Structure 1
C-alpha cells in the first residue's frame, strides 16, 4: 500500500498580518493533488493542524472542503484526518460519521472515536489507528482512568483504546505530538509548559508506520518508520532553510516501510537575506516576490529602510539590524529618566542617533532658543 503522509496545513494562517490562504491553495491544487495521481497513492493521512486556529476563516474552510472532496469523491482515495492542537476537535469532526461513507475519515472529538479503520490491498488488511491531539484530562474522562495525568500516559492509553482488534495486522498510526528529541520551529504552539508534553516514541513501536504531525520540520523521530512530514509551507523565518513537502510511505506485505520525501515548491518562498543594506539592494536573484526578512550588518540607522526594501521586494516583511551598536560617545546612559529634563533627554537622543556627528554650533544655538521659548510658555501657563 502506498500512503501519502502530510501534516500541519494550518489553513487560514496569517504571516505578518497577511493571510496565506491563496498560497496554500496553490500548493494543494497544483502540487498535492497531482501527486496523488502521478504517484498512484492508495491512501492519504493528514496528521493534525488542518487549520491554524479553532475558529478558522471561511476561506480556509472552503479550501479544505474543496481539497477533501477532490481527494475522496473525485479521485476515490481514502483520506484520514486527525485534529491537532490548533484545531477545534468538535468543529473538525462535525458530520464525521456521514463523511466516513465517502472515505473521509476524521478523528477529533474523543466521544466519536470508533476504533481502527481497515483498508485492504493485495497483501491483505491494513489498520489505520487515529490518535487526535487530546489533553490528559480529556483522555482521563473518556476512559474513566484517574491515573492519566500526563501526555505520555494519555497517549499510551488512547493508543491501546484505538488499536483494539489490530493484532497481527499491518498498522498505520496517525498522531499529533511532540516526540522527544524532535527539532521545533518558532511557529509551533507549545502543547504544555515545562516539557511535559514530550512523548517517548516507544509508544509507537507496535505500528508498521507512524505518521506524526506538530513539528514543522520534516524529520525522523527515533526510528525510520516514525516520521514527521513537516508543515505544508514555511510559516516562520526560523523555517527558511527547511524543505517542505510530504512523505510517501510504501508499506510492504511483510509490514516493512520505505519512505520518500517529496518536496513542495511554493510560489513565494520564505527567505532571510544577509549582508549590508546596500549589498542586499544591489543583489539580483530573480526572486523578488518572496517573503523576505532582511538581516543587515549596518551599524548606522537606515533612512526609510522598509520603504526602500519593499520597492525591490514587495513582500518584504521585516528588517533587522542586529549589528547596530551604540557608540561609546552616544550619550550618558546612567541618568534617571524620571528626573531628566526634556533638554537632557533630547541631547541623549540626538547623540544616540548621530554618534559620529555631534550637534553643530548653529543647531545648538537654535535648540537653546527653542528650549528658552518652551520654558517661557510653560511658565506663563502656570501663572
Structure 2
C-alpha cells in the first residue's frame, strides 16, 4: 500500500506581515495532484495544520477545501494529529462524525492505542497517532511520573507497542523534536532548556514513523523514521531546503521505499547580498524578481531609502540587513576620525538626494557646522 506523509502546513501564517495563504493554496493544489497521480491509499498529516490555535476564517476555509477534495472527491482517507501550533480541542471538533467520511483526527491521548486500519492493494496497515503533548499533560492524564518530553513520549509509545498486533505493519504519527536533528529559525520551541528533545530510538519498533515539527525533510539513524518537512519555506534560514512531501510504499515486512516528491512554491524565499546599485541592476533582469527576499547590503556608506528603491525591482523585499555599515574597527575612535566620518556620511546623503556632490563652499559650511555642534556638545558634557 502507498500513502503520503506530510506535515507543518501552518495554514494562515504571516511572514513579515505578509499573508502566505495564496502561496499555501498553490502548493496544496500540487499535493492533490500528487495524490491523484500516485493513486495513494491514504494521506498522513503529522501536525501543525494551522499556524495558530485560533486560525483566521480564510485559513479554515482553505483547509476545508483541501480536505473535501481529498476525502470526498478523491475518496482518499486522511489521518491527522494536532501539532504544537494547533488547538487540539478545536481541531478535533466533530471528529467522530468526520471519521465516517474518511477524515481521521487523532486528537486525544485516550485514542493513541486505537489503530486506524487502512487496506491497500494487498496488505492492511495499522496507523497510530500521538497528538502533540507535554509532560504535564501526560502526567495528569495517566497519573505517571514523567518530567521531560522524552519520558512522556517513551511512556506513550510503550502504551501503543503493548497494544498493537504483530501481524500487520504499523505506522506511528507524531509531532515532536528529535534530539540532534536539523532545525531552522521558524520552529517554535516546545520548552526551555532542551527538555523538549526526545530520542529516536523509542520509535524503532514501528515499520514507519511519520514525524512533524522540524521543517527540513530528513531522516537519521533509521531510514524509516522521517520528517517530511514543511510544505513551504517559513524562514530565510530554510532558503536551501528542498520542500515537498514523502511518498511511502509499505510491504508486508515493513517499509519498501520512501520518496521525496517536490512542491514548487509560487514565490521562493531567498537571501541576496551585494551593493545596492548592483542589486538594482540585477533586479531588472531577474526572472524571479517576485520572490520573498532578505537583502544584505554591503555598502559601507549611508543609503537613502534603500527599501523603496529595491522594491521597484524586487516588490517582495521583506527585510534589509546592512552588515557593511557595521564593519567598523573596534579601536577607540578619536575626535578627528569622528569628524571625518560625520562629514563623509553627509556628503553621501547629499549626493543621493541631489544627484551631485557638494560645492566647495557648501562643503566648508558643513565642516563649520559639524565643528560648532561638537564644540557645543563638549561644553555641555
Aligned to 1:237: 236
Displacement of 1:139 in angstroms is 1.1
Would you say how many aligned residue pairs link Structure 1 and Structure 2? Answer: 363
CA contact (8 A) 1:126 1:170 kept: yes
Displacement of 1:333 in angstroms is 8.2
Give 1:72-91 correspondences, 5 Å limit.
72-91=71-90
Aligned to 2:9: 9
Aligned to 1:350: 342
SS of the residue aligned with 1:223? coil
User: CA 1:125–1:363 in structure 2 vs 1: closer, same or farther (change >3 Å)?
Assistant: same
SS of the residue aligned with 1:299? coil
Aligned to 2:53: 54
Q: Matches of 1:85 and 1:228 in 2, distance apart?
A: 15
User: CA 1:326–1:8 in structure 2 vs 1: closer, same or farther (change >3 Å)?
Assistant: closer
Of residues 73-82 and 322-331 in structure 1, the stretch that sits farther from structure 2 once superposed is 322-331
Query: Deviation per CA, 1:247-281, whole angstroms, max 9, x where unpaired?
Result: 00111122133111011001111011122222222
User: CA 1:257–1:192 in structure 2 vs 1: closer, same or farther (change >3 Å)?
Assistant: farther
Displacement of 1:161 in angstroms is 2.8
Aligned to 1:133: 132
Aligned to 2:366: 363
Aligned to 2:352: none
RMSD (Å), alpha carbons = 3.0
Alignment partner of 1:110 is 2:109: yes
Q: Matches of 2:332 and 2:347 in 1, distance apart?
A: 8
Q: Matches of 1:203 and 1:114 in 2, distance apart?
A: 16
Displacement of 1:354 in angstroms is 4.8
Give 1:1-383 correspondences, 5 Å limit.
1-29=1-29, 31-111=30-110, 115-145=114-144, 147-163=145-161, 164-283=163-282, 284-325=285-326, 332=333, 350=342, 353-354=345-346, 360-366=363-369
Displacement of 1:240 in angstroms is 0.6
SS of the residue aligned with 2:325? coil
User: CA 1:117–1:11 in structure 2 vs 1: closer, same or farther (change >3 Å)?
Assistant: same
CA contact (8 A) 2:343 2:366 kept: no
CA contact (8 A) 1:130 1:162 kept: no
Aligned to 1:338: none
TM-score (norm 2): 0.87
Query: Deviation per CA, 1:207-261, whole angstroms, max 9, x where unpaired?
Result: 1111110000111132110111000100010001111000001111221331110
SS of the residue aligned with 2:308? helix
Displacement of 1:301 in angstroms is 2.1
Of residues 235-244 and 218-227 in structure 1, the stretch that sits farther from structure 2 once superposed is 218-227
Q: Matches of 1:133 and 1:244 in 2, distance apart?
A: 23
TM-score (norm 1): 0.87
Q: Matches of 1:37 and 1:326 in 2, distance apart?
A: 53
SS of the residue aligned with 2:32? helix
User: CA 1:369–1:138 in structure 2 vs 1: closer, same or farther (change >3 Å)?
Assistant: closer
Of residues 310-319 and 153-162 in structure 1, the stretch that sits farther from structure 2 once superposed is 153-162
SS of the residue aligned with 1:187? coil
Q: Matches of 2:7 and 2:330 in 1, distance apart?
A: 53
Q: Can you give the 5+ residue segments of structure 1 that lack an aligned partner in the other structure? A: 335-345, 374-383
Q: Can you give the 5+ residue segments of structure 2 that lack an aligned partner in the other structure? A: 350-357, 377-381
User: CA 1:325–1:2 in structure 2 vs 1: closer, same or farther (change >3 Å)?
Assistant: same
Displacement of 1:77 in angstroms is 0.6
